[in-house]
Amino acid sequence: MSTFTLSTTQKNKPLLLSKGFSYTIDKTTNDKTYWKCEDARKLKCKGRVHTNNINTILLHENDSHNHNGSAVSTEIRL
């Protein structure tokens, strides 16, 4: 699996950065957090990531983005 970074949005919500894409929390269960691409609504993007809640390990990454990622913009958000 790829590496990722956790950050926060301007509204202080959790943000996951991976491979030039930004993800926000879609839903959380007892053991997993499901993240959706930050452009899910605006661009109808289907990119998704699942992480483990205990030690924040990336479990699944769906690279079905319908737009290009930007390593520059993710670095700026750190």
Return the beta strands (E) in the chain as ranges.
5-8, 14-18, 21-28, 32-37, 48-52, 58-62
Backbone φ/ψ region at 36: left (φ over 0), alpha (ψ -120 to 50), beta: beta
Tell whether pTM > 0.85. no
How distant is the alpha carbon of residue 2 from its chain centre?
12
Look at domain 5-77 and name its CATH class. mainly beta
Q: What is the pLDDT along the chain (78 residues), one digit of tens a residue?
A: 567 888 998 899 999 988 888 899 999 999 999 999 988 788 889 888 899 988 777 777 777 776 776 655 555 555
Q: Where are the domains of the chain?
A: 5-77
